[in-house]
Structure 1
Amino acid sequence: MATTSAVGELRQVKSCGFFVMRSNQSFLLMKHKNRYDLPKGHMEPGETEQQTALRELLEETGIKSSDIDIDPHFHFEQTYFPIYKRFGGEKVQKTLVIFLARLKSDSIQVVPTEHPNFEWHTCNSLQPSKETKNIDELLHKIQAYLNQ
């Protein structure tokens, strides 16, 4: 969802996705050229946050809503101010919304369509770095939530 407000206000963008886990507590990351990220994407008009996350999960990984159990108690939201190439280098107000899901079966195959590759990681196998800076805060929140 990209909207433009009155003059002087920043364009607002919302992106929604999933933190997908397997039974061994590993989680899915999509591999970009220089970084890792979650399966997520921009909200379309008329979608709810969860509908956006489910659509993006299917589009980017082939994982269907029937393949996952969504944790009803976890909801991560973060707002930040990146420079967007898609808007000609304009600074925007971006809100990221992430839901937690577990695969119903570890045999479900991931088929990346929008990224060169994917990897399964554990919280211990992924150290904070420039490759993960976009998701470091989320990783800390997930870890604290799972250790409750």
Structure 2
Amino acid sequence: MTLRACGLIVFRRLHAVGFASAPPQIQFLLLQTSYGQHHWTPPKGHVDPGEDDLQTALRETEEEAGLKSKDFNVLDGYKKEMIYKVNNKPKTVIYWLAEVKDDNTEIKLSDEHQTFRWLSVEEACKLAKYQEMQEALREAHQFISNK
């Protein structure tokens, strides 16, 4: 049996005050788990019976980060599927890309996480220790930069 989880790679664009011509800085939201090795990840979780993948991603983002679907826009054209092993069993994780509408949107963590950070792609890749996640973050950054 393949484990399946879905989530959102959440980002924001920060504009430098007084520098209208400067490109915005893209920052990704990572959450640090309060269990296990305290790894860093975007909000994600297992698919519940009767849910489709995107419903799972939206529900998990609200549960884990307090972000409701009205707080962000899911970008068309980006969907990342990763398959890797967890306890010698295959796990599929699917991510969509979502931009918060307000840079100051409040993050409200669940008990599953102990802290969060908004990070540049370089900083996010340093904290996200899994190569697949690092690649997903870099691909997402490239996708955003080309829009």
TM-score tier, shorter chain, comes to: 0.7 to 0.9
1:52-93 per-position Cα deviation (integer Å, ceiling 9, x unaligned)? 00000010011001111000110000111211xxxxxxx221
Q: Are residue 95 (structure 1) and residue 92 (structure 2) matched?
A: yes
TM-align CA RMSD:
1.6
**Partner residue in 2 for 1:147:** 145
| Mean Cα deviation higher: 31-40 or 66-75 | 31-40
Q: 1:127 to 1:57 in 2, by over 3 A?
A: closer
Aligned partner of residue 109 in structure 1, secondary structure = coil
- Give the number of the structure whose residues are more often helix, by fraction: 2
Q: Look up the equivalent residue of 1:15 and give its one-letter code.
A: A
Percent of aligned positions that are identical: 31
Q: Residue in 1 aligned with 2:27?
A: 26
Q: Equivalent of 1:117, from 115, 118, 131?
A: 115
1:13 aligns with 2:3: yes
CA–CA separation in structure 1 for the residues paired with 2:9 and 2:124:
14
**2:125–2:137 CA contact under 8 A, matched in 1:** no
The partner residue of 1:107 within 90, 104, 113 is 104
Q: Is the 8 A contact 2:28 2:124 kept in 1?
A: no
State the AA in 1 paired with 2:138: H
Match of residue 3 from structure 1: none
**Aligned partners of 1:15 and 1:41 also within 8 Å:** yes
Distance 1:71 1:127, change over 3 A: closer
1:37 and 1:132 in contact (8 A); partners too: no
After TM superposition, the score normalised by the length of structure 1 is 0.81
Code of the aligned partner of 1:73: G
Shift of 1:20: 0.5
Q: Which moved more, 1:134-143 or 1:109-118?
A: 134-143
**Equivalent position of 2:55 in the other structure:** 51
Counterpart of 1:65? 69
User: Offset at 1:18?
Assistant: 0.5
Structure 1 residue ranges (4+ consecutive) displaced by more than 4 angstroms after TM superposition: none
Aligned amino acid, residue 96 of structure 1: V
Provide structure 2 residue ranges, at least 5 long, that are not aligned to the other structure: 15-25
> TM-score normalised to the size of structure 2?
0.81
